Every structure is written in structure tokens, then in C-alpha cells.
């Protein structure tokens, strides 16, 4: 089946193995993608975060604009074999640990996936997002192998993109799609993309990047996420301008410009849909960048089976996003770059509207 390029990237990338601190397959894939496009520049910081620059044409106007997505997903890393010959593996990620027991998993090995079942779970004192598990497997698994829930490769089903994990390789794939489009269309404006590590285990890559100056000092950072679907943030209603997360509300001036970009797109194409929401089902890297003083904003896709937990909270399932939301997000990036590269609006439009109302109606006040 022939699918649009952004969907092909999503299907390919969301089938890669990945786990916190074990993102090698995703980062190697991204490095290969960049290497085939001489128009892009790649810098790998000492923590393994990847900063990609699309230089555009001519001199940059205004501040650096950095889109950011993380390369990991809650998952396992193989440690070795225990006295009974079972695989030992470490779980990292925000999933209620009682859900781990007796689940089917698969580990990425040189010759393909090796499947297994978790037979015991040992939690670590004071750690809510870490556990050591024993797994009975149907083959040897070398230490360091990535383990994920035992679901098939990413696939399209109607309007859904279903995968072992969408969070956040789906976000990373949307940015790869945008980089691809920028190179093909020789987009004039510049932007950067930061792919981070170990977000699901305490934002480690993003925090390390802030501490050691991976980003340009004047950067405006837009965090790209797949974020838990909420009653007022439904799949199919379009990508979301995320005004905040569970930790904080992001910069109003950044959210305003993101909204300008989306409204501009909708004026040109009334079929374009977007939402503007506080997505407080989780915390994203925008909060980290804000804590380090960068003006930040967020864009996200409503995510089904967030962190592989089914809505009843009892089972493990594949994650899914909506194809239309995903394609809408890829479209939105171009408008966002254009909006941020244009000179800021000189007049405060809302204030102007209020003054006009007052001028016309002030006699009713006195």
C-alpha cells in the first residue's frame, strides 16, 4: 500500500525498538536520515541528544526556533540471566508497576524479536517508575537489548495509527516529516529540531541539554508530544496547541503566536482543524525548558492508551493516534515557522478590539 510520506515515516519509526536510556535504534535511524540530506546539519551533544539545524536561506531573522521531541518510550532493558536461567530486565517509565506482572513482552535482538512473559516483578525502594523483572523467554537475549510490550509493528487501521509506542516516536516522526518537507521545498526560513533521550525516566536528556547549553541561548522551544486524550481534547479534532501541562502553564506569547499560525491555516483552508487546551494528563519537556528560562510552548496529539494503559486502567494495550491529527500537525509546523519568522504584530489586536468597543458604547456607561 502506498501511503503519504509523513505516514511512511511514522510507520517505520514507530516500529523501531526504544526504551528510556536505550534509544540507539531511533537515534541511528535519525542520523541516517540526516546523513542523506546535506542541507541539514547534525550535532550530537555529549548526552546523545541530537540537534538538527535546517539553515534555510539567507540570514536568520529573530530568535532560534527549536522543536523538540523525545526518542524513548516506557520500556525495558535486558540486564542478564538470573540463577534460574530467566532473563533479568529493568523497567523504566511511568506505568503503575502492578500492571507489569504476567505480561507478554518482546526484546529486540540481532536476528529479530525474542518473545517472553514477565514472571516476577521487584520494585525498588522509593522508585515509582523503575522495577526489575524476571522474564521467561523463548530464546537468548543479550544484555542491553531493548524490551517492549508484545504488540505488532506500527500499522494503519481506518483513521488510526496504532503502535507499540507512539509517545514520542510519533512526535519525532512528525518532525522528521517536516524536515523532509523543508528540504524538498527549499523552505527559506530556518529552524532547529532537538531529539532528546530518557524523557520517560525523568526528562534526563532535556535537563542535561539545559545544564550544558545544547540549545542556542536565544531559543524559543516548542515541545512536541503525544499526550493523554482528555474529555475535552479528543482524537480527530485536530492537533493541539498545548497551553500547559500538569506542572505549569507555558509562555502566553508563544501560545498566542502558535494560535495565530493555526488560525492563519484555517483561514486559508476551513477544513483544517486544531484545538487549544491545557493538557494536564502528564508533564512534558516544555516545563523543563521553561524552568531553565527558555520561552516555551507546546504542540501535541491526543493519545489513546496513554503509556499503553487501557482506559479502564487494568490492561496493557498498543498506543494509537489519529491519522488526521498527525497530518494536521505536520502541516501546522510550516505555518508556525512562518509566523515566528514574521515580525511580531505591532499592535495588540485584542486591546484594539476592546478600545473600539468602548469608543462605540461608552455613552451607555455614563
Alpha-carbon distance 277 to 284, whole Å?
14
Among 45, 167, 229, 322, binds Zn ion (CB under 5 A): 167
Task: Give counts: helices (H), strands (E), the chain.
Answer: 8, 17
Among 23, 72, 168, 229, binds Zn ion (CB under 5 A): 168
Complex with Zn ion: residue 167 or 319, whichever CB lies closer: 167
Smallest distance from Zn ion to CB 343, Å: 33
Smallest distance from Zn ion to CB 70, Å: 6
Pairing relationship of beta strands 220-228 and 155-157 according to DSSP bridges = unpaired
* Other residues' Cβ atoms within 10 Å of the Cβ of residue 310: 14
Complex with Zn ion: residue 225 or 260, whichever CB lies closer: 225
CB 161 within 8 A of CB 326: yes
Complex with Zn ion: residue 147 or 165, whichever CB lies closer: 165
Smallest distance from Zn ion to CB 73, Å: 8
Nearest to 176 by CA among 31, 321, 336: 31
Complex with Zn ion: residue 225 or 229, whichever CB lies closer: 225
Q: Which of residues 225-254 bind Zn ion (CB under 5 A)?
A: 225
SS3 content of the chain, % helix, strand, coil (to 5): 30, 30, 40
Smallest distance from Zn ion to CB 165, Å: 9
Cell of 18: 526504544
Asked if 192 is part of the footprint of Zn ion (rule: CB under 5 A), the reply reads no
Smallest distance from Zn ion to CB 125, Å: 26
Complex with Zn ion: residue 56 or 165, whichever CB lies closer: 165
Q: What is the largest CA-CA distance in the chain?
A: 87
Nearest to 169 by CA among 144, 191, 146, 197: 197
Alpha-carbon distance 108 to 155, whole Å?
18
Complex with Zn ion: residue 167 or 322, whichever CB lies closer: 167
Q: Which stretch binds Zn ion (CB under 5 A): 24-32, 100-108, 219-227, 297-305?
A: 219-227
Complex with Zn ion: residue 147 or 282, whichever CB lies closer: 282
Q: How many chain residues interact with Zn ion (CB under 5 A)?
A: 3
Smallest distance from Zn ion to CB 268, Å: 30
Q: Which stretch binds Zn ion (CB under 5 A): 97-105, 164-172, 183-191, 251-259?
A: 164-172
**DSSP 8-state class, residue 22:** B
Complex with Zn ion: residue 167 or 192, whichever CB lies closer: 167
**5: region left, alpha or beta (phi > 0 left; psi from -120 to 50 alpha):** alpha
Smallest distance from Zn ion to CB 338, Å: 26
Three-class DSSP labels, 305-351: CHHHECCCCCCECCEEEEHHHHHHHHHHHHHHHHHHHCCCCCCCHHH
Smallest distance from Zn ion to CB 304, Å: 14
Chain contacts with Zn ion (rule: CB under 5 A): 167-168, 225
Amino acid at each position: 500500500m502506498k501511503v503519504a510520506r509523513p505516514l511512511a515515516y511514522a510507520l517505520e519509526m514507530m516500529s523501531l525498538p526504544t526504551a528510556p536510556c536505550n534509544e540507539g535504534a531511533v537515534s541511528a535511524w535519525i542520523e541516517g536520515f540526516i546523513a542523506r540530506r546535506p542541507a541539514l546539519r547534525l550535532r550530537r551533544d555529549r548526552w546523545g541528544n541530537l540537534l538538527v539545524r535546517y539553515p534555510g536561506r539567507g540570514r536568520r531573522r529573530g530568535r532560534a526556533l527549536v522543536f523538540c521531541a523525545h526518542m524513548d518510550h516506557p520500556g525495558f532493558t535486558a540486564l542478564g540471566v538470573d540463577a534460574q536461567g530467566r532473563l533479568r530486565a529493568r523497567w523504566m517509565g511511568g506505568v503503575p508497576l502492578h500492571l507489569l506482572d504476567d505480561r507478554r513482552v518482546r526484546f529486540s535482538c540481532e536476528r529479530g524479536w525474542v518473545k517472553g512473559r514477565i514472571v516476577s516483578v521487584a520494585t525498588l525502594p522509593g522508585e515509582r517508575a523503575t522495577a526489575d523483572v524476571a522474564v521467561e523467554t523463548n530464546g537468548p537475549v543479550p544484555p542491553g537489548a531493548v524490551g517492549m510490550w508484545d504488540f505488532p509493528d506500527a500499522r494503519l487501521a481506518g483513521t488510526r495509527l496504532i503502535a507499540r509506542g507512539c509517545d514520542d516516536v510519533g512526535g519525532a516522526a512528525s518532525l522528521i516529516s517536516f524536515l523532509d518537507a523543508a528540504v524538498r521545498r527549499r523552505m527559506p526560513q530556518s529552524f532547529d529540531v532537538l531529539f532528546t533521550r530518557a524523557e520517560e525516566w525523568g526528562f534526563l536528556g532535556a535537563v542535561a541539554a539545559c545544564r550544558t547549553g545544547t540549545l542556542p541561548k536565544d531559543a524559543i522551544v516548542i515541545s512536541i508530544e503525544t499526550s493523554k486524550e482528555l474529555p475535552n481534547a479528543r482524537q480527530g479534532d485536530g492537533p493541539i496547541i498545548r497551553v500547559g501541562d500538569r506542572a505549569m502553564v507555558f509562555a502566553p506569547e508563544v501560545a498566542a503566536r502558535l494560535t495565530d499560525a493555526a488560525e492563519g491555516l484555517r483561514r486559508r483552508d476551513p477544513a483544517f482543524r486544531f484545538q487549544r487546551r491545557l493538557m494536564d494528563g502528564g508533564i512534558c519537556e516544555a516545563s523543563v525548558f521553561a524552568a531553565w528560562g527558555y520561552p516555551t510552548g507546546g504542540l501535541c496529539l491526543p493519545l489513546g492508551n496513554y503509556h499503553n494503559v487501557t482506559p479502564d486502567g487494568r490492561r496493557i494495550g498498543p498506543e494509537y493516534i489519529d491519522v488526521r491529527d498527525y497530518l494536521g500537525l505536520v502541516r501546522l509546523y510550516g505555518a508556525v515557522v512562518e509566523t515566528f519568522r514574521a515580525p511580531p504584530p505591532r499592535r495588540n489586536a485584542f486591546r484594539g478590539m476592546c478600545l473600539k468597543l468602548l469608543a462605540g458604547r461608552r455613552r451607555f456607561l455614563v
